[in-house]
Amino acid sequence: MTKEIIYTLRSPYRENLDVTAFRFGKGRKAAAIVGALRGNEIQQMYVCSQLIRELKKLEEKGQISLDMEITVIPCVNYYSMNIGKRFWTMDNTDINRMFPGYDMGETTQRIADGVFSYLQGYEYGIQLASFYQPGNFLAHVKMMETGFTDKELMKLFGMEYGIVREPRPYDTTTLNYNWQVWETKAFSVYASATGSIDKRSAGIAMEAILRFLYNTGVITRKIRSGYLTEIIPEANIAQIHSDAAGIFVSSVSIGDHVNENDVIGKITDPLDGETISLIRTNFSGIVYFEYNASLINENTVCFKIIRE
């Protein structure tokens, strides 16, 4: 294993921001894995840290294929992480909306440029991504439909679902999108939690990444088989919104099957405890996302369902 600083940002008030990469094997740029680009992506950094431990063992046993190089960047934005902010500390901008970056631009543009310059040229790119909404979600793999997409490759992760997303205008400045434009086959792996560590889903995500590396010939240690991945368009995922504000109580968990007209949650008055609203489904399917904050505003997405 080689540990190196790939980008440094000097600061007059804090220690330098040193973005660190861990490299395994040697030769062709086979796969790059990127963790936390945002300050609340604790789970994403944790998955990368566990992946680094596993890759160290594989390298010691000679189980990384000849002429193959793997890079893992566990965390980019730890400046924000250590003060509990999601976005950049000074101007609240999002590094994952600044790619491919600009070395003479704003701070987050320069960070994105430094990271992206290092990441160019890899055959496969895997980002440990997170949702912007507070909640739990099914572990899955996702690709953007950029015109450079081979959706069948998602099956090599062996995750239960592979989701294809039609990019919106703001997606064109994300790492995933720009990786694909620069001819890297890019995937986003979601590991259920964001601001806390969920060891079970972290293990699922790490095993899926290792399974992908084995199935593409990057590592030689066989990983146990996963799911026969069901590939679905993101348009097949329906959102359920709250129709009141109050205390939110869910009646289901991610992965549960629900039927049309089932009660899957309720909202109660925060002062007298009376039920204000019962949240029902309009269709049958699998719970893909569950809002998990205690208080909810009106018209907030509280569930997402993969429709049958």
Q: What is the mean pLDDT of residues 99-105?
A: 96
Residue 14 has pLDDT above 90, yes or no: no
pLDDT tens readout for residues 277-301: 999 999 999 999 999 899 999 999 9
Q: What is the mean pLDDT of residues 130-147?
A: 89
Dihedral pair phi/psi, residue 265, rounded to 5°: -175, 170
Q: What is the mean pLDDT of residues 134-141?
A: 91
Q: What's the Rg (C-alpha) of the chain?
A: 20
pLDDT confidence band for 134 (50 / 70 / 90): confident
pLDDT confidence band for 90 (50 / 70 / 90): confident
Tell me the one-letter amino acid at 88. Answer: W
Q: Residue 74 and residue 288: Cα distance in Å, rounded?
A: 26
pLDDT tens readout for residues 106-125: 999 999 999 999 999 999 99
Contact between residue 183 and residue 146 where contact means Cβ atoms under 8 Å apart = no
Tell me the one-letter amino acid at 240. Answer: I
247 vs 132, which has greater pLDDT? Answer: 247
For tokens 């010691």, what's the residue? 60
pLDDT tens readout for residues 30-78: 999 999 999 999 999 999 999 999 999 999 999 999 999 999 999 999 9
Helices within the chain (DSSP H only): 42-60, 78-81, 107-119, 175-181, 199-215
Residue in 96, 81, 3, 59 with CA at minimum distance from that of residue 218: 59
pLDDT confidence band for 6 (50 / 70 / 90): very high
pLDDT tens readout for residues 215-241: 999 999 999 999 999 999 999 999 999
Coil, strand or helix at 248 = strand
First to last CA, the chain: 45
| Domains, the chain | 2-228 (3.40.630.10), 236-307 (2.40.50.100)
Q: Residue 9 and residue 79: Cα distance in Å, rounded?
A: 11
Coil, strand or helix at 32 = strand
pLDDT confidence band for 157 (50 / 70 / 90): very high
Residue in 147, 143, 135 with CA at minimum distance from that of residue 187: 143
- CB neighbourhood size of 177 (10 A): 20
What pLDDT, on a 0 to 100 scale, did the predictor assign at position 13? 76
Dihedral pair phi/psi, residue 115, rounded to 5°: -70, -45
Coil, strand or helix at 6 = strand
pLDDT tens readout for residues 250-272: 999 999 999 999 999 999 999 99
pLDDT tens readout for residues 184-208: 999 999 998 899 999 999 999 999 9
Residue 135 has pLDDT above 80, yes or no: yes
Q: Residue 213 and residue 205: Cα distance in Å, rounded?
A: 12
Q: Hey, what are 290's tokens?
A: 């569950």
Q: Hey, what are 148's tokens?
A: 């450079």
The pTM of the full predicted model, rounded to 2 decimals, is 0.94
Residue in 254, 253, 129, 231 with CA at minimum distance from that of residue 190: 129
As a whole-number percent, the residues of the chain with pLDDT over 70 amount to: 100
What pLDDT, on a 0 to 100 scale, did the predictor assign at position 287? 97
